[in-house]
A and B are shown apart, each in its own frame.
Chain A
Amino acid sequence: MTDADRDLLAPLVPGGEPVEQLLRKAQFFVPGRPSPDYREVHREGGRQAEEFWHERWRHDKVVRSTHGVNCTGSCSWKVYVKDGIITWETQQTDYPSVGPDSPEYEPRGCPRGASFSWYTYSPSRVRYPYVRAPLLEMWREARRRGEDPVTAWTGISRDPERSTRYKQFRGKGGFVRASWPEVVELVAAAHVATVRDYGPDRVVGFSPIPAMSQVSYSAGTRFLSMIGATILSFYDWYADLPPASPQVFGDQTDVPESGDWWNSSYLMLWGTNLPITRTPDAHFMTEARYRGQKVVVVSPDFSDHTKFADDWLPCAPGTDGALAMAMGHVVLTEFFRDRQVPYFTDYAKRFTDLPFLVTLREHDGGYLPDHFLTAADLEGDAATAEGAAHKTVVLDADGTPRVPNGSLGFRYTESGMGRWNLDLGEVDPLLTLYGTHDEAVTVDLTRFDLGETEGGSAVRRGVPVTRVGGRLVTTVFDLLMAQYAVPRAGLPGTWPKGYDDPQPYTPAWQEQITSVPAAAAARVAREFARNAELSHGRSMIAMGAGTNHWYHSDQIYRTFFTLLMLCGCEGVNGGGWAHYVGQEKVRPLTGFQNLAFGLDWQRPTRHMTGTSFFYLHTDQWRYERFGAGELASPLGHGRFGGRAFADCIVAAGRMGWTPSHPAFNRNPLDLADEAARAGRPASDHVVEELKAGRLRFADEDPDDPANFPRVLTIWRANLLGSSGKGMEYFMRHFLGIEDAVRAEETPEDVRPTEVTWREQAPRGKLDLVTTLDFRMTSTCTHADIVLPAATWYEKHDISTTDMHPFVHSFNPAIAPPWEAKTDFETFRLIGEAFSRLAAEHLGTRTDVVATPLMHDTPDEAALPGGNTLDWKHGDCEPVPGLTMPRLVTVERDYAAVAQKMAAVGPLLDTLGTTVKGVNVKPAVAVEFLARKNGRVRGGVGDGRPALTRDVHLAEALLALSGTTNGALAVQGWQDLERRTGVRLADLAEERAEDRITFADTQVQPRAVITSPEWSGSETGGRRYAPFVVNVERLKPWHTLTGRMQFYLDHEWMQEYGEALPVYRPPLNYLRFYGDQGVGDPGRPEITVRYLTPHSKWSIHSEYQDNLHMLRLFRGGPVIWMSPADAAKIEVRDNDWIEAFNRNGVVACRAVVSHRMPEGTVFMYHAKDRHLMTPRSEISGWHGGGDNSLTRLIIKPTHLIGGYAQLSWGFNYYGPTGNQRDEVTVIRRRSQEVQF
């Protein structure tokens, strides 16, 4: 014992109480048997008490599964089972290695996923089929009377009194249990009756994000495809689709896996909060910092990701485009004008449209940029060559016009075979005419920071020009320099004097708009570009909802892409765009598409853009204050003057640009019958009827009962409680119940001209809403029928994502409890019941399907030059597949639907599979499936591979895709080699023998194979980055020029002033709607920007009702606001408030925090109304979720079609359900709340 120790020793009790006494007292506290001298106490127990914890941990088995929610995580989990009960879950850590010098993909998961098992036995678990009492009573009564099911359904749904009786109680309790056979029969009868009487396209299905449970998605869409129903898109509807991606890249969305962040040495987080929204992957960012990565965060608030920033640029919401324009100004000035970086210049010439020539047309004493110069504009043979109108032109170094390979004109033509590539050969395109030019002219360019309307104003700047084929032309690069206001000596026009001059688009200019200091903006831009110069493109921008959910998100993104493309970052590991919101990479895409949409039995499928569908059919179009013309540029032709957004939808549908379902105001089955009776092809019949005005497009009169969507089935989704923008309008018009809408209908002068205005808007359009779910969401509470779904721990399925390169499986840890069934099983039952009833009521019918001009098909070349030709207005003749939708007849043997669903169909053998223009004949894979799954015996599928179980479908998805079947990947690349003339097949040859089976995915997540289904490469175990194949193998992008495009010359883009990237501010709703407050005296109100970012405690609405998540924060919906804003309305932290505008009202609590900027509030999105939603003081009705304050508004340029990359594809192009431009009024409410 040291002295120090001795020092420490002191009597325990002051005064030295005898220890024996102490111990005697201690007996009271410590039961046990004291030794006679009280010097020791003997006790039972002790470390065997640790057994409690051992027992708690003990379990019987661990099952691999995942979460199939609308989340891109796709994390593999261990689900623990003890005594037949799911106890908890922890993450798997067995992902294939990324390599010795990188962090691994373990563990992957987040707190939300970790809380999932709570749902399994939660009190809100849907255990049985439920039907609302009035409907069930009428149904049972009719069936007791002996009515046939279909007759029973028509009797109830068509009788106004009887249908009102059940519709009025939607969302108002009264569910009673029904048996599975009973409820399946009801659902099937409603489908049969609707197909027969209104048309199959009046049957609608909604289910999103297939990647995260591909079998469950496909189970429903396969059924709906077989019957010809309308299947709604979701990616655009969710506003997660970045329209700039198809516009610029000709690709839906293709992004780096998260492991590739590690390869970036400069990472900007711009609108995506990685720790919250990419929780499992955020570590790659935090770890890359140690490798020397600089992280810059641009966000309006100090948020979870801001913590990791080196620099935080606190950019005002929605003004990100202004900041990016200024950064572009700096990059162009310092890295293109003052100094040229060989890497950048070379990249721009080879992979972007910057050297391509654009014609100029005269305008108001100056010029306007017009269309791309094409080979058709040249003299000589080139002009008449095949595809000339879609071959764009550059000037060679010596000034000779050249038509380089790779543009659209080479993609589908015979002469283009082997030439659709980016090989410039001897050509060295001129990026700029500056220096070699002998003439310069001024062009008028749009600016939107100023203007009388949302359409902005103009600025005049000079470009160097030359003449080719008699036309005045300049390069896209020179236009870009003018657009970004980078002065070059001798060019005419208005230019800023320097970075300090607050003119567009200088750093000083953006500071006034974004509040980001000019010096910081310039420095970050400079660092970003310099990093790309040093690293050859390893600068990355991760972007997401924060910058994508805006009305003008496409423009915001294009300003980002400008930075990336100028700095040579796309197609480079560690560089480029990284869009992380809602991206949904179904890696086994080919198998999925063919099976999910029944393409193995019939083609095409009725796919519909969700946003236009809901805009029209929930009647949100009836509440506009301004039309499409308001947003059009003053430099356009004024084509949008007097047109409503609904008019634009109608026109785009009619011209074949975008889908339109339900299609006509007549049952398409009847149309086919009429044609047959008239003895002419159905398409001729439809065209004739349309021309004669006897037939109309349904969207020209969405309030005509003949055009209502009638039967809606929702699965894997919470449409009403989560994604339903304009929720209160859904309540009013879709469902026909009470709502909190305060908006007035459109005044007469701004009403649509091509859409019939009915004085009385219909309420309760839907006859039947069926929801499959395992938890009682408000989509369930508002549905007529709720079917108990198996959870993700109770079924087989497969999952993939953009975020990692693996495919892995769902597996049942327990059997679906109570009466729950898998989605696969539910749709099998519905399909069988449908087929039984259809045998009598439908038989075999011919369906006329109207499909738009499709992307990645020759349809892209339908409309050269991107001109608008509207046959209705006499611009041209209606020609199906050219100036109007393609009209395809499909024979539907309705009694055989169930048999077809359960077998791999024959079209795979004859037509093969075509995805993104690559065709493969998967004969070997089909044969393999027949042996693996077994063959169907009897019926229409006799001898075909079976799809009778969920694992069969999973197996088929994997076997038919290149990413999971190496032989098909090689075949696909070979097909592409023929078209491109470049070597590609070697990308997959190393794994030509690999086939990932479902059993493989049960063992471990499996790394996918490089396949032409995607643009990146995993070859040799490298990290996936998009467009690597384009850059390294010279495979063109799927655009007009075959390159990434800065310039979009479609007429509608020009009308909107968006031919080039430009800053467009958030919509100014105050301009149109004024103060939306209620103005009670003595009740202060504030009007603020209303943002709905992704939640920390839920994945959309999933988990927001989960007890574990609720206890980790405030226990219910909240709105975050700044102390300054709170003070203005006398609100303290945790007070009850009401947020309201014309669209509805939210009653929730306030969170006051100085991490919020003044003037902006946050409400985590997808706050469902089934939890903590009190009655509102303002509406007198229950306040809703975050979408009670939103309403859809259409951006007409998203409707463009028939022109190269601006052609329609499902979830590829279409109007987005943007919602961030909205404002709300907030006031404190009574602190007494009633639920």
Chain B
Amino acid sequence: MRVKAQMAMVMNLDKCIGCHTCTVTCKQVWTNRPGTEYVYFNNVETKPGIGYPKRYEDQEQWHGGWTLDRKGRLQLRAGGRLRKLLSIFYNPDLPSIDDYGEPWTYDYQRLIDAPLGTENPTAHSISALSGRDMDMQWGGNWDDDLAGATEHAVRDPNLTNMEQHVQMEFEQAFMFYLPRICEHCLNPSCVASCPSGAMYKRDEDGIVLVDQDRCRGWRFCVSGCPYKKVYFNHRTGKAEKCTLCAPRIEVGQPTICSETCVGRLRYLGLILYDADKVLEAAASRDPHDLYEAQLSLMLDPDDPQVQAEATRQGISDDWLEAARRSPTYALAARHRVALPLHPEYRTMPMVWYIPPLSPVADIVHAAGYDEADPDKVFATIDALRIPIEYLANLFTAGDTEPVRRVLRKLAAIRATMRAEQLGLEPNEELASAVDTSPTELRDLYRLLAIAKYDERYVIPMTHAEDAGRLLAQHEQMFCSLDAQGGPGMGVTEPAGPGGHTFRADDGREHFNLLGWDGASTSPHLFPDPGAAEGGPS
């Protein structure tokens, strides 16, 4: 067991109001710079819709993420490193600026400088790239609120095979919002795709970053990420991506997108997982098993064995305590109401989503309503407008059962609490019908509804006194999950334990990547648990 701590996020889509505040605050803080005009570390998409960039979810087209080869082995969908080398000057999987929409600005100055006699001075759009007059055709949120849905949303990859019962008609309209940041995956295909070794997953908290010094702008991370959450800065020629607000997380502050989320739908907290099992989980044969496989990686922070092992591996007590209090673990694992986004990409994403309820499809005949009983005010979840199949395509690789279970649990909370506050006859069976207890429903209610700041965000602070230990990671060539078939894939041969280090000319000890089997411990590749105390364990 290799216990790792991952800072994970849960977003409750049932609370998302689609306001895009997260997008703007993130933009202002991080990508309000030349070269990043079109870059949204955080964006919000209307679903159904084709997203940003266009149809990024269609991996038949973009070849992002992982797939299994014929023997069931994990491989990058876009092909291995050789394929990359061959296509390094022409990457067919790279979205063009038209897929993002050319960024625009306006000739604002005209409003003030217009010479006398200018009829109705009005600022008009010009390209932010070329400065020339520009006719906008697409942008970061072009299809907000089903705008242009009859032309765009119909091409939503999640609607594949649902054409029969989802039509873009007023009577059937449904929508919800999907805020997205980098998934900070446990099995990140962007990292594995980088030919420069410039991407890495931080050992202490799992944040995936691009090393701006090392990035050479090959953009394989852009195409390798199935979520298209790595962007190319056309000014610096380097890739950039969501940092999970690392500078804030390190000091115990929530990410900008979380703290400024006025829907109060984001949660941040640690998830402990077994790094040894990531590849196995990611290689589950049946895509329907991927959600459970991903859950199975999570280690119960209340389990004394896990605690002991984590401590042994150098995870500090306050981090363990944070893991125990973690709202993301609670929502994803304990209550099982949060689901991963597109687990079929096999990257083991670490931003989880609670699927949304929706209005009933038929206000007159909705199942659950009783004409004669005005106290039965909620319809059954099978009467809702958002097709469960659609949600399943997003969150469970098409398996509707887990989605149905979550929605039923949300409905059970509502019914239970309504009965309680109005003094109605409580339905004793509700909790057990959704495989839980009244106590758990109440805990979940508190987490979802009351959602106080310090319960939404449980973020342990970095032990800066260990800076030296963290620096050791600079020396690693590939990422911390760099194993055969794994992110960096920097290894060709399995090797027996031992003999992985050597002392280089500068006198420092280095890890021999070529000799590492990707599974055994890897001194100096990961921060040494004992380094702070002054020596390898």
Cβ 8 A contact of B125, one of A49, A111, A307, A1116: A1116
Query: Are A49 and B424 in touch, CB under 8 angstroms?
Result: no
- Cα(A519)–Cα(B362), bound, Å: 11
Given A29-B196, A265-B418, A310-B360, the answer on whether A110 and B262 have CB atoms closer than 8 Å is yes
Kindly list chain B residues whose C-beta atoms are within 8 Å of the C-beta of A1110.
Answer: 104, 106
Kindly list chain B residues whose C-beta atoms are within 8 Å of the C-beta of A41.
Answer: 477
Query: Are B24 and A115 in touch, CB under 8 angstroms?
Result: yes
In this assembly, does A221 line the interface, its C-beta being within 8 Å of a C-beta of chain B?
Answer: no
In this assembly, does A1018 line the interface, its C-beta being within 8 Å of a C-beta of chain B?
Answer: no
Binary A-proximity of B255-283 (CB < 8 A = 1, otherwise 0): 01001111111000000000000011001
Query: Are B195 and A1 in touch, CB under 8 angstroms?
Result: no
Given A10-B73, A1108-B27, A1115-B139, the answer on whether A290 and B484 have CB atoms closer than 8 Å is no
Query: Are A302 and B423 in touch, CB under 8 angstroms?
Result: no
Cβ 8 A contact of B150, one of A111, A114, A520, A1154: A1154
Query: Are B356 and A310 in touch, CB under 8 angstroms?
Result: no
Of chain A, the residue at the smallest CB distance from B474 is A46
In this assembly, does B419 line the interface, its C-beta being within 8 Å of a C-beta of chain A?
Answer: yes
Kindly list chain B residues whose C-beta atoms are within 8 Å of the C-beta of A9.
Answer: 484-485, 494, 518
Kindly list chain B residues whose C-beta atoms are within 8 Å of the C-beta of A517.
Answer: 363-364
Query: Are A289 and B364 in touch, CB under 8 angstroms?
Result: no
In this assembly, does B421 line the interface, its C-beta being within 8 Å of a C-beta of chain A?
Answer: yes
- Cα(A302)–Cα(B142), bound, Å: 18
Cβ < 8 Å to A, chain B residues 125-160: 125, 136-137, 139-142, 144-152
Query: Are A311 and B363 in touch, CB under 8 angstroms?
Result: yes
Interface centre among A2, A47, A108, A1155 (most CB of B within 10 A): A47
In this assembly, does B292 line the interface, its C-beta being within 8 Å of a C-beta of chain A?
Answer: no
Query: Are A1132 and B195 in touch, CB under 8 angstroms?
Result: no
Query: Are B151 and A287 in touch, CB under 8 angstroms?
Result: no
Of chain A, the residue at the smallest CB distance from B30 is A56
Query: Are B150 and A1133 in touch, CB under 8 angstroms?
Result: yes
- Cα(A17)–Cα(B451), bound, Å: 55
Of chain B, the residue at the smallest CB distance from A97 is B452
- Cα(A1085)–Cα(B169), bound, Å: 22
Cβ 8 A contact of B450, one of A102, A527, A1105: A102
Interface centre among B262, B265, B414 (most CB of A within 10 A): B262
CB distance from B24 to the nearest CB of A (A): 4
Of chain B, the residue at the smallest CB distance from A104 is B452
Kindly list chain A residues whose C-beta atoms are within 8 Å of the C-beta of B489.
Answer: 12
Query: Are A530 and B375 in touch, CB under 8 angstroms?
Result: yes
CB distance from B482 to the nearest CB of A (A): 12
Kindly list chain A residues whose C-beta atoms are within 8 Å of the C-beta of B119.
Answer: 172, 738, 1175, 1181-1182
- Cα(A1107)–Cα(B260), bound, Å: 20
In this assembly, does A692 line the interface, its C-beta being within 8 Å of a C-beta of chain B?
Answer: no
Given A53-B246, A291-B417, A1107-B105, the answer on whether A1155 and B146 have CB atoms closer than 8 Å is yes
Kindly list chain A residues whose C-beta atoms are within 8 Å of the C-beta of B18.
Answer: 275, 304, 307
CB distance from B244 to the nearest CB of A (A): 10
Query: Are A1112 and B140 in touch, CB under 8 angstroms?
Result: yes
- Cα(A1152)–Cα(B169), bound, Å: 12
Cβ 8 A contact of A287, one of B216, B264, B477: B264
Query: Are B30 and A1123 in touch, CB under 8 angstroms?
Result: no
Query: Are A40 and B136 in touch, CB under 8 angstroms?
Result: no
In this assembly, does B58 line the interface, its C-beta being within 8 Å of a C-beta of chain A?
Answer: no
Kindly list chain A residues whose C-beta atoms are within 8 Å of the C-beta of B173.
Answer: 302, 1154-1155
Cβ < 8 Å to B, chain A residues 1058-1116: 1096, 1105, 1107-1116
Kindly list chain A residues whose C-beta atoms are within 8 Å of the C-beta of B169.
Answer: 1154
The number of chain A residues with a CB under 8 A from chain B is 157
- Cα(A365)–Cα(B212), bound, Å: 90
- Cα(A115)–Cα(B519), bound, Å: 47
Cβ 8 A contact of A114, one of B28, B152, B248, B445: B28
Query: Are A88 and B25 in touch, CB under 8 angstroms?
Result: yes
Query: Are B477 and A1171 in touch, CB under 8 angstroms?
Result: no
Kindly list chain A residues whose C-beta atoms are within 8 Å of the C-beta of B152.
Answer: 1133
In this assembly, does A91 line the interface, its C-beta being within 8 Å of a C-beta of chain B?
Answer: yes
In this assembly, does A658 line the interface, its C-beta being within 8 Å of a C-beta of chain B?
Answer: no
Kindly list chain A residues whose C-beta atoms are within 8 Å of the C-beta of B85.
Answer: 25
Given A311-B363, A1133-B150, the answer on whether A286 and B14 have CB atoms closer than 8 Å is yes
Q: Main SS of the interface on chain B?
A: loop
CB distance from A1158 to the nearest CB of B (A): 7
- Cα(A203)–Cα(B471), bound, Å: 70
Query: Are B117 and A107 in touch, CB under 8 angstroms?
Result: no
Cβ 8 A contact of A39, one of B88, B196, B513: B513
Cβ < 8 Å to B, chain A residues 16-51: 16-17, 19, 22, 25-26, 29-31, 35, 39-50
The number of chain B residues with a CB under 8 A from chain A is 152
In this assembly, does B15 line the interface, its C-beta being within 8 Å of a C-beta of chain A?
Answer: yes
Query: Are A1182 and B421 in touch, CB under 8 angstroms?
Result: no
CB distance from A46 to the nearest CB of B (A): 3
Query: Are A1111 and B122 in touch, CB under 8 angstroms?
Result: no
Kindly list chain B residues whose C-beta atoms are within 8 Å of the C-beta of A289.
Answer: 357, 414
Cβ < 8 Å to A, chain B residues 93-135: 103-106, 108-109, 111-125
Of chain B, the residue at the smallest CB distance from A171 is B120
Given A35-B504, A133-B116, A1123-B150, the answer on whether A54 and B247 have CB atoms closer than 8 Å is yes
Query: Are B24 and A1112 in touch, CB under 8 angstroms?
Result: yes
Query: Are B81 and A107 in touch, CB under 8 angstroms?
Result: no
Query: Are B196 and A175 in touch, CB under 8 angstroms?
Result: no
CB distance from B528 to the nearest CB of A (A): 15
In this assembly, does A400 line the interface, its C-beta being within 8 Å of a C-beta of chain B?
Answer: no
- Cα(A1115)–Cα(B30), bound, Å: 22
Query: Are A290 and B142 in touch, CB under 8 angstroms?
Result: no
Cβ 8 A contact of A5, one of B124, B279, B357, B417: B279
Query: Are B121 and A781 in touch, CB under 8 angstroms?
Result: yes
In this assembly, does A93 line the interface, its C-beta being within 8 Å of a C-beta of chain B?
Answer: yes
In this assembly, does A919 line the interface, its C-beta being within 8 Å of a C-beta of chain B?
Answer: no
In this assembly, does B296 line the interface, its C-beta being within 8 Å of a C-beta of chain A?
Answer: no
Kindly list chain A residues whose C-beta atoms are within 8 Å of the C-beta of B216.
Answer: 29-31
In this assembly, does A174 line the interface, its C-beta being within 8 Å of a C-beta of chain B?
Answer: yes
Query: Are B211 and A527 in touch, CB under 8 angstroms?
Result: no
Given A29-B218, A30-B196, A310-B379, the answer on whether A1155 and B145 have CB atoms closer than 8 Å is yes
- Cα(A1154)–Cα(B151), bound, Å: 11
Interface centre among B21, B81, B174, B279 (most CB of A within 10 A): B21
Kindly list chain B residues whose C-beta atoms are within 8 Å of the C-beta of A58.
Answer: 247
In this assembly, does A222 line the interface, its C-beta being within 8 Å of a C-beta of chain B?
Answer: no
Kindly list chain B residues whose C-beta atoms are within 8 Å of the C-beta of A4.
Answer: 280, 283
CB distance from A738 to the nearest CB of B (A): 8
In this assembly, does A894 line the interface, its C-beta being within 8 Å of a C-beta of chain B?
Answer: no
CB distance from A842 to the nearest CB of B (A): 34
- Cα(A1112)–Cα(B38), bound, Å: 10
Query: Are B377 and A48 in touch, CB under 8 angstroms?
Result: no
Query: Are B243 and A53 in touch, CB under 8 angstroms?
Result: yes
Query: Are B417 and A292 in touch, CB under 8 angstroms?
Result: yes
Query: Are B214 and A30 in touch, CB under 8 angstroms?
Result: yes
In this assembly, does B288 line the interface, its C-beta being within 8 Å of a C-beta of chain A?
Answer: no
Query: Are B517 and A1 in touch, CB under 8 angstroms?
Result: yes
In this assembly, does A283 line the interface, its C-beta being within 8 Å of a C-beta of chain B?
Answer: yes
Query: Are B170 and A1157 in touch, CB under 8 angstroms?
Result: yes
Query: Are A103 and B279 in touch, CB under 8 angstroms?
Result: no
Given A1107-B106, A1134-B137, A1153-B150, the answer on whether A111 and B243 have CB atoms closer than 8 Å is no
In this assembly, does A303 line the interface, its C-beta being within 8 Å of a C-beta of chain B?
Answer: yes
Query: Are A107 and B448 in touch, CB under 8 angstroms?
Result: no
In this assembly, does A187 line the interface, its C-beta being within 8 Å of a C-beta of chain B?
Answer: no
The stretch from A60-68, A124-132, A696-704, A803-811 touching chain B is A124-132
- List 24 A-B pairs, Cβ < 8 Å: A1-B517, A9-B494, A30-B195, A30-B214, A44-B213, A47-B471, A53-B246, A87-B28, A90-B25, A104-B453, A110-B262, A114-B260, A115-B24, A171-B120, A174-B117, A175-B114, A282-B17, A289-B357, A292-B416, A304-B17, A307-B359, A535-B421, A1111-B103, A1171-B106
List 20 additional contacts besides A7-B72, A31-B216; criterion CB under 8 Å.
A1-B520, A13-B82, A16-B492, A30-B197, A49-B209, A126-B112, A173-B114, A173-B115, A275-B17, A289-B357, A520-B363, A534-B423, A776-B111, A1111-B37, A1134-B137, A1152-B147, A1153-B145, A1153-B150, A1155-B170, A1172-B124
